[in-house]
Amino acid sequence: MTETQIAHPGARLPEPGPLPNRLQLTDDGQLRHMLTIEGLNRELLTEILDTAESFANMNEKAVKKVPLLRGKTIVNLFFEASTRTRTTFELAAKRLSADVLNVNIDTSSAVKGESLLDTLRNIEAMNVDMFVVRHEESGAAHFIARHVAPGISVLNAGDGRHAHPTQALLDMFTIRRHKGDFTKLKVAIVGDILHSRVARSQIHALNILQTGEVRVVAPCSLLPSNVDQLGVHVYNDLDAGLKDVDVIIMLRLQRERMEHAHLPSEHEYYQLFGLTSRRLQLAHPTCLVMHPGPANRGVEIESAVADGPHSVILEQVTYGISVRMAVMSMVMGAHQA
Amino acid sequence: MTTPDVPTLLDDMAEQARHYLKTHGIAAPIVVGIHSGGVWIAEHLRERLGVERPLGRLDISFYRDDFSRIGMHPQVRPSELPEDLDGEHVLLVDDVLYSGRTIRAALNELFDYGRPASVTLAVLVERDGRELPIAAAIVGAHMELGKTEQIKLRGPEPLRLERVTIDPEDLKA
């Protein structure tokens, strides 16, 4: 689980672990861990989205809970700060009637020098059933999945610059709810592709679901050098990239990862790559505006657009719960079969 | 072996239901079917009874008690209950009543939507093999079947009952 720390123009996206699917699928093709979208097939992604659809109706119930994972213990193992993702994973687990334990490693063992494996073994000894892992290093979730006891599932809630599969799935769910068929859609992903695990997972998911056209729009300094291998159309000009698109996915400008001066200034970035009301008019009239949050208003997106009629940013948060419920119940089910 | 004719059973069920609702003073029940066979039967029953309130549909997959043994049902459909159940009389409909576990799960799910005034169970076929204290008030046909036999409703058009023999190996699953 090493990752090159070089973050300069031309840096490559981290390589996925060897044969991730042997790790994340059972022998009969069921999802056992959710580590990466890469390598999954269209049927499985569709099954996840369909299952999420049945959970999405749950808000109509007086009791917003199902007893599916009653008696299971799910551990949120977060080595990196996160509010939204952790909260929605926690709510998803609770709505499935599981017990949830939040372990924030920053403030406990890491400072005492306990190794990742030690931490894992200790929590495993408490007879838990699932780990939801976020870690700043690419490949951390794979590493944990390789070492957990059989019967425990691992969900990747974001590892370094590698993958964030449930975020990509909730984005696909949001798109499908509004647009239906992917094959006729033009989707533009705009912003910091180089540092974004979200973008990488989205690109895989969109391609697996046979999206008509996937575009990435970014300055050269925020594109990986192997971008041409990702099966996307590359644009360095936002106006051209937005022309007639059905979905715009804005990425967060990762200020915390920008120490190596990829950009002259945030202000200039906004001038060139910020999504403004004026630019939105270049897209299809019924275009969706998405953002994984939290949005930097006035840096990558204008407030009026983030809050405007095309925006489905808050819906993404709501659907995140349903999608995570679907993934959690499917991986727990796969162990039993 | 011949199986009962479904439309005939439906006529008989409608007659029983009319009588039941009348004697219990229920004017406007909410008819709720359990996916998928129960929904087909519920649609026909609702039509025969002239119930105007929209049909409810339950998919009890998230409430099953065998999830820890057999995992997720691959094709779960959303449950739809168009009306508030609080204080309402529910006519719960399924195709085959066997162990009673499906009905147990359905009752749990119903009560997550609200507190109905009453729930009455109507089934097309009631067979032997109950494992829970659950009984139907409205029954199309009663059948005695062997342990390796099952009765399945095929549909939606036309609806017919089919008797199938199952491999004893599958019973262990």
ipTM: 0.77
Residue A244: alpha-carbon gap to chain centroid: 25
- Residue A4, in any domain of the structure: no
Give yes or no for residue A170 having a pLDDT over 70.
yes
Give the chain A residue whose CA is nearest to the CA of B106. Answer: A66
Q: What is the mean pLDDT of residues B127-149?
A: 95
Inter-chain CB proximity A337 and B59 less than 8 Å:
no
Q: What is the pLDDT of residues A171-220, one digit of tens each?
A: 999 999 999 999 999 999 999 999 899 999 999 999 999 999 999 999 99
Measured in angstroms, the CA of A52 and the nearest CA of chain B are apart by: 9
Which of B32, B61, B76 best tests the A interface by mutation, with the highest count of A CBs <10 A?
Answer: B76
- Domain co-membership, A221 together with A129: no
Q: For the domain that residue A220 is a member of, what is the CATH number?
A: 3.40.50.1370
* Of the options 1.25.50.10, 3.40.50.300, 3.90.1150.10, 3.40.50.2020, the CATH number for the domain spanning B6-66+86-144: 3.40.50.2020
A28 neighbourhood in chain B, CB within 8 Å: none
**Residue A327 sits in the same domain as residue A305:** no
The total number of residues shown for chain B amounts to 173
Q: What is the pLDDT of residue A2?
A: 38
Is the same domain home to A258 and A134?
Answer: no
Residue pair A77/A102 in contact by the 8 Å Cβ criterion: no
Residues of chain A in contact with residue B69, where contact means CB-CB under 8 angstroms, are: 336
Whether A86 and A122 map to the same domain: the answer is yes
Tens of pLDDT along B47-99? 999 999 999 999 998 898 888 777 777 677 788 898 899 999 999 999 999 99
Chain A residues 53-92 with a CB less than 8 Å from chain B? 53-54, 56-57, 60-63, 65-68, 71
> What is the reported pLDDT for A5?
38
At residue A7, the pLDDT reads 38
Asked if residue A1 is part of any domain, the answer here is: no
A239 & A327 share domain = no
Please state the domain count of chain A: 2
Interface of B with A in 26-65 (CB under 8 A): 59, 61-63
**Looking at the DSSP assignment, which residues form a beta bridge with residue A97?**
none
Residue A20: pLDDT band (50, 70, 90) is low
- Average pLDDT for A216-236: 92
Neighbours of A68 (CB within 10 A): 23
Question: How far is the C-alpha of B33 from the C-alpha of A60, rounded, in Å?
Answer: 18
Q: Catalytic one among A85, A88, A166, A211?
A: A85
Fill in the amino acid letter for A89.
F
For residue A237, the enclosing domain spans 165-316
The average confidence (pLDDT) of chain A is 89
**B162 at A interface, C-beta within 8 A:** no
Considering the domain architecture, whether residues A157 and A185 belong to the same structural domain is answered as: no
Q: What is the pLDDT of residue B172?
A: 57
* Residue A159 and residue A229 share a domain: no
Q: What would the pLDDT profile of A42-65 be if each residue is shown by its tens digit?
A: 999 999 999 999 899 887 788 889
* Residue B46 clears pLDDT 70, i.e. is over it: yes
Distance from CA of A104 to the nearest CA of B (A): 29
pTM for the whole structure? 0.87
Assess if residue A11 is contained within a domain.
no
Give yes or no for A334 touching B (CB within 8 A).
yes
Residue A324: the pLDDT is: 98
| Segment A316-329, tens digit of pLDDT | 999 999 999 999 99
To the nearest 10°, report the CA torsion of B143, B148, B151, B155.
Answer: 180
Annotation marks residue A297 as catalytic: no
Same domain, A287 and A177: yes
Same domain for A153 and A75, yes or no, is yes
- pLDDT higher than 90, residue B15: yes
Does residue A10 have a pLDDT over 50?
no
Report the candidate in B10, B33, B48 with the shortest Cα–Cα distance to residue B106. Answer: B33
Report, as an integer, the average pLDDT of B6-21: 97
Residues A128 and A207 occupy one common structural domain: no
Active site residue A179: no
A4 is an active site residue? no
Asked if A282 has any chain B CB less than 8 Å from its own CB, the reply is no
Q: Parse chain B into domains and list their residue ranges.
A: 6-66+86-144
Write down the mean pLDDT value for chain B.
Answer: 92
Looking at the fold, whether A171 and A107 belong to one and the same domain comes out as: no
Mean pLDDT of B10-25: 97
In a domain, A78, yes or no: yes
Residue A270 falls inside a structural domain: yes
